[in-house]
Structure 1
Amino acid sequence: MNVILIVLDTWRRDHVGCYDNSRIHTPNIDRFAERGAVFENAYLASYPTLPCRRDIATGRYEFPWRGWGGIEPDDVTLGGTVHEAGKVSYFFTDVYHHWTSNPGSGYWRPFSGFDFVRGQERDRYVTDSDIVFENRTLDYPPHNRPEQPHFRNAQYIRKEERDWFSPQLFSRAARWLQHNADQEFFLMIDSFDPHEPWDPPRHYVKLYDDSEDDVMEYPVAPYDWVDGNLTEAELKRVQAIYAGEVTMVDRWVGHFLDQVENMGLMDNTMVILASDHGTHNGDHGRTGKNWVLWNEITRIPMIVWHPEFGHGARPVQFVQPVDYFPTVVEAMGLGVPDGVNLHG
């Protein structure tokens, strides 16, 4: 059996219809959820981005033993286990932390192959000095934010929606399927969106805030209290921008899942769709990913399709990202390598 694991960074559980939020437009994920199993008690383990990736890669808790970091030379990983068993494992991502000069590297190495979409967040991809910040998606200050490389990259790359980062990522993964579906595979798609900076095409924002008010827009909300940092109108716009980002991601997740369906792969492929953690968006008087771990951050969406089991189910078992490693290797008919003690 094939396995596809899709991780959407900073995707809140309450921003998808199948978790009882009819206000958020996620028709493609909702359609997928109708056929699969929607887990009611999925929670993060290690937090935030890279510690969670280590949980996924090793099947072992990163926290509390380590913090932000990469794969160690002696780590036994999920991608490597599949590859060493003679099957194809492939890693698609636009999470720039995997390639920074910080000790956040190595997650792609054990896979049979990988592809990296450049340009997210602080990725110093484009250095052209003649970039003109005109016709921007949002009214953000262009030159005085730490994420400025993101906006320079975006201004250089984007001509139409398919040039945004998550559309690029899921389109590349869909093309990969066309050339690899004849062999048994494990495919991991690690999407930085809907992580901030949030700057979807304007029509997605207007689904949630169609006012023409002249409001300062924050693609990165303050990691702080709302009071003293955001007006009521600014908070409403922050919430609309984030929701718009989620809806854009939904469209391109749907594009990819349609490819899986059209190629007849749903009959022999398990698909896991989940988040690593959420974010505060005005909840408890805060915005951003603070270290106060309320449910808006800790309780994550997780939807699983298996050809034989769980159709339409709402499992209540407690699950976490460390459970992916044993689940994937079992589904693919592989064993956990000798001497490896998994926490999942």
Structure 2
Amino acid sequence: MNTILIVCDTWRRDHSGAYGNDWIHTPNINRFAEKAAVFENAYLTSYPTLPCRRDILTGRYEFPWRGWGGLDPDDVTLPQVLGEAEKTSYFITDVYHHWGRDAGNYWRDFTGFSLVRGQERDGYITDTDVDFDRTCHRFPLQGPSVPHSRNAQWMRREERDWFSPQVFSQATRWLQHNADHEDFFLMIDSFDPHEPWDPPRYYTDLYGDPAFDGTEYPVAPYGSIEGKLTPEELRHVQALYAGEITMVDRWFGHFLDQIESLGLLDNTVIILTTDHGTHNGDRGRTGKNWVLMEEISHLPLLVWHPEYGHGTRPKQKAQALDYFPTACEAAGVEIPAGLHGKSLLPFLKDPTLADPR
């Protein structure tokens, strides 16, 4: 059986109808959740971006032994194990940390990979003739805003040019040409809805004041908001984030439609999740460089299996390092010894099963 793992970075659990939010527009995640198992107790393991990816790909805890960085030469990875069993794996991502000099090798063992360039600090375009007034609108040019805006000017003409649309469109094209692989593993790693939050304006206007003319903060100041954001600016930050999620939802929906049209729901496990959340005005803070409260650590996790788990809400603990053994079990590949993770499929078969952890 195939496995498709979708990681949407910095997606708060409470920003989805699947977890009780009645105001955010996530119709495609909602329709997926109606069919899938919705885990109630998924929590982060290692944190933030790259440590979580190492948990995913090795099935072992990164924290507290290792920090930010790439895979080590002796790390045994999920695509490596699947490859040794002659299974095809593919990696699609715009998370620029994967090819930065501080990491640079997370696609190492995949059969193939595709990198969507230009996200956040990615040094993709270096042209000097940039009209920052057009690309930045009203937000301050600082930190990742500079390279991000330079890239955006030359890349964006319509919605499909934003990053999550590019990522899911590439995934759709890959499925169209690779659906016949037996027991394939596809990992889609979308940096959105991570900052910078700058979706097309019509998404932001779903949640904020269309007449807002203050300073925009696609990267809100990390830490206390006291003295940094006015109430109007904070509401706009929240609207930017919600709009980013709704854009991701739309393009996830297009991808889900392709899965259905190719008949892959009948032989594919689909995992939709995130690495962590973020503060967005709650507890008087924005960002995620603080105590790991529920807004950051309690994660959305939706898992589809063709045969069981439909409409259930398992309460067993689930973590990123569980995806490795889950994909192995789905593909009929022996789960390597020494993993810290446990397959989630038994919890789909029996949501009342005792939690081994």
Same fold (TM over 0.5): yes
State which of 172, 188, 195 in structure 1 corresponds to 2:170.
Answer: 172
* Alignment correspondent of 1:260: 259
Contact 1:58–1:325 (CA under 8 A) maintained in structure 2: yes
* Alignment correspondent of 2:275: 276
Contact 1:137–1:201 (CA under 8 A) maintained in structure 2: no
- What is the one-letter code of the residue matched to 1:172? Q
Q: Does 2:352 correspond to 1:327?
A: no
Contact 1:3–1:186 (CA under 8 A) maintained in structure 2: yes
Contact 1:137–1:199 (CA under 8 A) maintained in structure 2: no
- What is the one-letter code of the residue matched to 1:83? G
For the residue of structure 2 that corresponds to 1:136, the secondary structure is: helix
Q: Does 2:158 correspond to 1:160?
A: yes
Q: How far off is 1:148 after superposition? A: 1.1
* Equivalent-residue separation in structure 1 for 2:210 and 2:339 (angstroms): 54
Q: How far off is 1:11 after superposition? A: 0.2
* Alignment correspondent of 2:59: 59
Q: Cα deviations across residues 270-292 of structure 1 (Å, max 9, x unaligned)? A: 10000100000001110001231
Q: How does 1:304-343 map to 2 (within 5 A)?
A: 304-337=303-336, 339-343=337-341
* Equivalent-residue separation in structure 2 for 1:238 and 1:13 (angstroms): 18
In structure 2, stretches of 5+ residues that fail to align are: 343-357
* Equivalent-residue separation in structure 2 for 1:213 and 1:205 (angstroms): 11
Identity of aligned residues (%): 67
- Distance change >3 Å, CA 178–CA 211, structure 1 → 2: closer
* Alignment correspondent of 2:31: 31
* Equivalent-residue separation in structure 1 for 2:120 and 2:288 (angstroms): 16
* Alignment correspondent of 1:204: 203
Q: How does 1:221-240 map to 2 (within 5 A)?
A: 221-240=220-239
Contact 1:37–1:311 (CA under 8 A) maintained in structure 2: yes
* Alignment correspondent of 2:96: 96
For the residue of structure 2 that corresponds to 1:150, the secondary structure is: helix
* Alignment correspondent of 1:15: 15
Which one is further off, 131-140 or 193-202?
131-140
Contact 1:76–1:340 (CA under 8 A) maintained in structure 2: no
Q: How does 1:26-175 map to 2 (within 5 A)?
A: 26-102=26-102, 104-136=103-135, 138-141=137-140, 143-175=141-173
Contact 2:70–2:105 (CA under 8 A) maintained in structure 1: yes
* Equivalent-residue separation in structure 2 for 1:138 and 1:258 (angstroms): 34
- What is the one-letter code of the residue matched to 1:331? A
In structure 1, stretches of 5+ residues that fail to align are: none
* Equivalent-residue separation in structure 2 for 1:98 and 1:144 (angstroms): 23
* Alignment correspondent of 1:293: 292
Question: If the length of structure 1 is used for normalisation, what is the TM-score?
Answer: 0.97
- What is the one-letter code of the residue matched to 1:111? F
For the residue of structure 1 that corresponds to 2:296, the secondary structure is: helix
Contact 2:203–2:247 (CA under 8 A) maintained in structure 1: yes
Q: How far off is 1:105 after superposition? A: 2.1
- What is the one-letter code of the residue matched to 1:131? V
Q: Cα deviations across residues 114-141 of structure 1 (Å, max 9, x unaligned)? A: 0000000110000111122354374213
* Equivalent-residue separation in structure 1 for 2:31 and 2:136 (angstroms): 29
Contact 1:91–1:113 (CA under 8 A) maintained in structure 2: yes
Contact 2:120–2:145 (CA under 8 A) maintained in structure 1: yes
Which one is further off, 74-83 or 6-15?
74-83
Q: Cα deviations across residues 159-181 of structure 1 (Å, max 9, x unaligned)? A: 00000000001000100001100
- What is the one-letter code of the residue matched to 2:151? N
* Alignment correspondent of 2:353: none
For the residue of structure 2 that corresponds to 1:250, the secondary structure is: helix
* Equivalent-residue separation in structure 2 for 1:341 and 1:241 (angstroms): 39
What stretches of structure 1 move > 4 A for 4+ residues in a row?
none
Q: How far off is 1:27 after superposition? A: 0.2
What is the root-mean-square deviation in Å for CA atoms of aligned residues?
1.2
